[in-house]
Every structure is written in structure tokens, then in C-alpha cells.
Amino acid sequence: MRNSDNFLAAFNRIEQFLNNGNTSGVYRPFTQLVRDQTERNVTVKRNKDQLAKFSNLRNAIVHQSTKGTYAIAEPHDSIVEEIEKVEQELTNPPKVITQFQKKVEIFKHNNSIADVLKIIRDRDYTQFPVYKEEEFIGLLTENGITKWLARNIEEDIISLEETNLIDILEFEEEVDNYIFIGKEMNVYEAEEIFKDFPHTRERLDALLITHSGKKTQSLLGIITTWDILQFYKT
């Protein structure tokens, strides 16, 4: 197939995808479909400039005539690769469960700070979900541990084995320094949560993945801003 055929096929599939999200019941041109969905679809939002470019290119290479539609120019290979990549991102964005599922190290409220410090030393973790019985009660971070140490170091008497995690959780500045998300959320939606957090809270340390985003469900994975950065490097 010619590059123009591949480009137009991908463009038409993208337009069909956007049309599937058209709830107005009336015809919308391609650029209007993009504008309509930019506010409610993160993946469309992140690709809106490219989609506008594809729309202009589509109009430039296609000539409408009484004999049908045919291409009057051939797009470069890189353009075809770009539009096919955007199509894949729109129609099948990577899910958080496929990218960030892992065994999460969890702790009980009566575990000692010594237990956590050993994990930091051996595995370089920085976030620690804490449970009381089966109930999630908070996310302990290095920041909270540092504040606890700073507050208690003046006494010069700190027992790492006798200090329980529930006593350190109160040193987390933000009680809600976490958000639970469902496993079907895509990575770009998760990234958007981190981008938006300054408008909703002072600090967001992690997204905690469960089956449907309920804190009563088992943890399937954990995402930090560092994890998002690493995702784009792979």
C-alpha cells in the first residue's frame, strides 16, 4: 500500500474512534470531535496538536472530485508512523496494571520503624502502605520518617525497635498523600492525576492500584512520579 493509503486508513480509524465518543447525535467534523473530547479524554488532550496537524494534512493530500477521492500527495514514512502511533495510543492506551503491577510491601500498624528502615536499606523503597488488621490507615513515606526523627532526635533516646508505625504516621503533613485507582485506568490518566494534584492537595506521594480503586481491596501495585518518568524512558 502507498503511504497515502496507510495514512488515510489510520486517519479514518481515528475519526471513527472519535465518532464513537460523540454523544450529541449530530454530525461533527473531525476538528470539532477533537475539541469536544479534549476536556474529557486525557489521551485526546495530549494528542490534540498532532490531531489538528493530521486533519490539515489529510485535507492537503486528498482531492475531492466527481470521480471519487484520491491522493494528490504522498506523506513521508515518518508521518505514517506518527499517525499510527497516535492511533494506537488513542484506541489502546497502556493500562496501569500492565505497567506497574508488582508485589507491594505492606506493613502493620504495630510494625516497628526498624522493620521499615531495613526495607529502605535493602530495596530502596520510599512509600510504605500501613494497615491495621485489614484496614488501610495511611501511607508512610521517607518524608514522614525524617520529620519523626527530627522531632525526636533532641531527646537523644530513640528506640527503633519499640517505635510503631502508627506513631510515625501522624508526622505525614498530608493525611491524604495517596489516591486509590482502579487497575483499568490508563497510564496517561494516572499521569494527569499527578499533574493536577497541586490544585487539590499539597502533596501526592503515590497512586495505589486495586481492582476497582477501592481501598478495601488488595493492593496490586503502586505508582510514584518517578515511576511515570521511568515509563517514558522505556
User: What domains, with CATH codes, occur in the chain?
Assistant: 3-91 (no CATH), 98-233 (3.10.580.10)
For residues 219 and 104, what is the distance between their CA atoms, to the nearest angstrom? 7
Cβ–Cβ contacts within 10 Å for residue 190, how many? Answer: 23
Look over the chain and give the mean of its residue pLDDT values, rounded to a whole number: 88
Q: Which of 79-83, 139-143, 202-206 has the lowest mean pLDDT?
A: 202-206
What are the angstrom distances between the C-alpha of 212 and each of 126, 140, 183, 202, 220? 24, 23, 6, 25, 11
Q: How confident is the model at residue 70, as a pLDDT? A: 61
- pLDDT greater at residue 215 or residue 176: 215
**Which single residue is written with the C-alpha cell 496501569?**
96
Q: Which residues contact 171 (CB under 8 A, 6 or more apart)?
A: 144, 145, 147, 148, 151
For residues 91 and 41, what is the distance between their CA atoms, to the nearest angstrom? 11
Q: How confident is the model at residue 71, as a pLDDT? A: 64
Q: Please, which pLDDT band fits residue 158 given cuts at 50, 70 and 90? A: confident
The maximal CA–CA distance of the chain, rounded, in angstroms, is 89
Q: What percent of the chain has pLDDT over 90?
A: 60
Q: How confident is the model at residue 65, as a pLDDT? A: 43
Name the pTM for this structure: 0.84
pLDDT digits (tens, 9 = 90+) for 106-127: 999 999 999 998 988 888 788 8
Residue 200 has pLDDT above 70, yes or no: no
Q: How confident is the model at residue 224, as a pLDDT? A: 93
